[in-house]
Structure 1
């Protein structure tokens, strides 16, 4: 089912971020919100219809023309409002409903009142989503991140480039000529606040975060070429025992040893009793002495999940410096850091000052919602952490623009839009493209697109 008109309930962090993305991608967005300062902030920079009203009053839904909506997304900070909004949306005939529900007592498959009772198609729990994302990243034994693409046959590997890296200070074209023992392709670059979908003339610079697509069979060779060291994750330190930190410990404790630092003494005692295979220490996560006492020097990964942006960033910076064994042993391991960052502006700061991975809860929730919206429009979607770009699979329709010329002839047009057709899937195998590649009708392609250009990418294949 195609989605065109979307009703959002709530303009808080998730709602505003999601509304901006949806408007940017060309959807018709209407919002119901009652808090005046949120409405004022949105009116200044959001091209959407905003209804000043209470979502629990049917008059607000009528003013929003709810009966014409294809999808309702309720993301206020109150579970009860979101669940009731789903029931109201169903009565107005809105076919699909998404609701943010944090309480495990409602809305889930095993709850007394499950999502079907509230007519919800997708339940969003931002804290659970971000905890699972952190656990997934931890269990990747190398690099900053590895994403499965094309039914798992292809991987996209993220790497922070240093001055000694073989691809540093070289153009994409030079890299292709110098390193042609096996096929791989740089598909995106994060440089400061900018996202680059690179062409042959773009240069990889030190401190860039690059995303490289490679067949899974060549992943270890790529890591060896780029100097990425495989390591077994055995010990993890978490600062912050709130909903996210405690859940990360629960997800990881069966496979790794956890040391958790919590500033609230009573909560630390509760966590010590409830968490398995976890040593809980009461203290300040930005205090070097507390971190060392907690075993920081033996850790493979350090995770900061407190509710304070500055605490998370500062503690990760301290940990990053202290866990760098290469300072005293060139063959030593370099510990990884993951920070939970609430302010979007701080995401760029976190990556530019040296943290490995910075995650944002509302972006994670929005990504999950966008993935749901695109079901039926795209074969698959993978968001690349740290850049405004996504990997999608598209099927070329008969006589679609992408089938009329070889990719070399389309290079300039594609690069201007921030679109890269990176691979084609034939007989279950993905082959990286080059300038001579011609996309055939009904052929599946892996496309890397700037988020702003997703609609343009789809139109090329329609």
Structure 2
């Protein structure tokens, strides 16, 4: 697959980095020669120096042969123009990164495909959607539903009181007599482990499971957690992510948003009718206490300063807030989130990059997500007739060691798959895979 990426910033570089594990022909375009030199020195990519809206530059990148062009520069206008020009020069599919969410709400009216833009993405809107997803449950740190909850991916932390503590995977399986969940990954000291029978659960592990609906309750019980309903949420920062999150969350929860800029706070109060907007400095612990942080079920920090977001989440944790989410600019921070006490750190550029990946995957990919801090993707494939995965039982398939099948949805019912499972056409299979084995995993579903 020939993929052209306009913009060698964090989004573009991250996409190129993940693709470098696979057999793609990648070209990076940027006006910053230092960024291009860095990318060329660390990744297997070709580079073109120049403006991506230039006909000459796109021709030099051989855009007419591109299967996909992703315009992810920091400028919305450049991304829109690049996509339109590239489409007219022969690119098969184009994706443009935008900031103005009005485009998202008016996609059909604007008929963007007709002018050359196949898809638009807003990192801020995607981040708000991700926050909403992460707030489904206080007892778990991450969750993602497949086929409306017929199977779910959930993440929990392991502490000393957990019945899973110090158990091997094989021993933990004996606690799962209903066979309604399977462990698919463990994040330990920033290392991603695809667990096998002899691996043990350790204190402070971040463990991830694929579970049937009744298995979700079982995992929460075995993790030693208690389920509780989220009602009250505090958002720190009237950024674009904060505004989008408040709009989404206010439909279901009681939301307070704290913004230190007085004029902006008044403007937000007019825009966000269902949100209580407070003008104040969220770094002031007395203010947070006066505004009832002790009564909050979740605290979301989305200011423009990563350090402020992290520290304020730690303050919230110290005030017994059960769920904390911090927006960070540095992707490397995500790896340390659980170690320092923040439930989840998110990066809007990384979320955008992962969203784009659904246009790159081979096979019938129905859904795709990533786990914050975990070096792996979770994909839902639809099995095709005569594909390799249907040829043998699971235990005899020679499936990659750095991937694991978590479950299957067959005729609307979720199942955890054991070694003697035989896949059939139209099955929807949930797989967790490390980047280096994605190609091999995809080959089973072609």
Relative to the length of structure 2, the TM-score reads 0.92
How far, CA to CA, are the matches of 1:452 and 1:288 in structure 2?
Answer: 45
How far, CA to CA, are the matches of 2:142 and 2:362 in structure 1?
Answer: 24
Change beyond 3 A, Cα 1:245–1:176: same
Change beyond 3 A, Cα 1:261–1:108: closer
For 2:173, the equivalent position in structure 1 comes to 176
Contact 2:269 2:275 in 1 (8 A): yes
Change beyond 3 A, Cα 1:444–1:350: closer
Matches within 5 A, 1:41-60: 41-60=38-57
* In the alignment, structure 1 residue 350 sits paired with structure 2 residue 331: no
CA deviation string 1:149-188 (max 9, x = no partner): 2453111111111111111111100100233245211111
For 1:453, the equivalent position in structure 2 comes to 437
Change beyond 3 A, Cα 1:150–1:252: closer
Matches within 5 A, 1:220-369: 220-323=217-320, 335-369=322-356
For 1:327, the equivalent position in structure 2 comes to none
For 1:414, the equivalent position in structure 2 comes to 400
CA deviation string 1:24-68 (max 9, x = no partner): 232211121111222232122121110011212211111111111
CA deviation string 1:252-298 (max 9, x = no partner): 11222222221222212222333223332333222221211221111
Contact 2:298 2:323 in 1 (8 A): yes
For 2:129, the equivalent position in structure 1 comes to 132
For 2:24, the equivalent position in structure 1 comes to 27
* In the alignment, structure 1 residue 435 sits paired with structure 2 residue 419: yes
Instruction: Report the 3-state secondary structure (helix = DSSP H, G, I; strand = E; otherwise coil) of the residue aligned with 1:220.
Output: helix
Matches within 5 A, 1:50-89: 50-89=47-86
Instruction: Report the 3-state secondary structure (helix = DSSP H, G, I; strand = E; otherwise coil) of the residue aligned with 2:26.
Output: strand
How far, CA to CA, are the matches of 2:426 and 2:251 in structure 1?
Answer: 44
Contact 1:150 1:393 in 2 (8 A): no
Instruction: Report the 3-state secondary structure (helix = DSSP H, G, I; strand = E; otherwise coil) of the residue aligned with 2:113.
Output: coil
Contact 1:105 1:112 in 2 (8 A): no
How far, CA to CA, are the matches of 1:280 and 1:151 in structure 2?
Answer: 33
Change beyond 3 A, Cα 1:111–1:414: closer
Instruction: Report the 3-state secondary structure (helix = DSSP H, G, I; strand = E; otherwise coil) of the residue aligned with 1:169.
Output: coil
For 1:330, the equivalent position in structure 2 comes to none
Contact 2:363 2:381 in 1 (8 A): no
Which of 87-96 and 436-445 deviates more?
A: 436-445
How far, CA to CA, are the matches of 1:296 and 1:261 in structure 2?
Answer: 11
Change beyond 3 A, Cα 1:357–1:448: same
How far, CA to CA, are the matches of 1:112 and 1:427 in structure 2?
Answer: 36
2:197 aligns with one of 186, 195, 200? 200
How far, CA to CA, are the matches of 1:242 and 1:350 in structure 2?
Answer: 21
Contact 1:84 1:118 in 2 (8 A): no
CA deviation string 1:218-258 (max 9, x = no partner): 43343234333222211111111111112211211122222
Change beyond 3 A, Cα 1:183–1:98: same
RMSD: 2.4
Instruction: Report the 3-state secondary structure (helix = DSSP H, G, I; strand = E; otherwise coil) of the residue aligned with 2:85.
Output: helix
1:384 aligns with one of 340, 346, 371? 371
Q: CA deviation at 1:444?
A: 4.6
Q: CA deviation at 1:392?
A: 2.1
Q: CA deviation at 1:377?
A: 4.0
How far, CA to CA, are the matches of 1:197 and 1:458 in structure 2?
Answer: 18
Change beyond 3 A, Cα 1:177–1:267: same
Instruction: Report the 3-state secondary structure (helix = DSSP H, G, I; strand = E; otherwise coil) of the residue aligned with 1:87.
Output: helix
2:149 aligns with one of 144, 149, 152? 152
Q: CA deviation at 1:147?
A: 1.3
* In the alignment, structure 1 residue 7 sits paired with structure 2 residue 7: no
How far, CA to CA, are the matches of 2:98 and 2:304 in structure 1?
Answer: 19
Change beyond 3 A, Cα 1:378–1:112: closer
Instruction: Report the 3-state secondary structure (helix = DSSP H, G, I; strand = E; otherwise coil) of the residue aligned with 2:27.
Output: strand
The runs of 5 or more residues in structure 1 that have no matched partner are 324-333
How far, CA to CA, are the matches of 1:446 and 1:273 in structure 2?
Answer: 44
2:407 aligns with one of 418, 423, 436? 423
Q: CA deviation at 1:381?
A: 2.1
**Count of residues in correspondence between the two structures:** 446
The runs of 5 or more residues in structure 2 that have no matched partner are none
How far, CA to CA, are the matches of 1:369 and 1:262 in structure 2?
Answer: 31
Contact 2:325 2:345 in 1 (8 A): yes
For 1:102, the equivalent position in structure 2 comes to 99
For 2:207, the equivalent position in structure 1 comes to 210
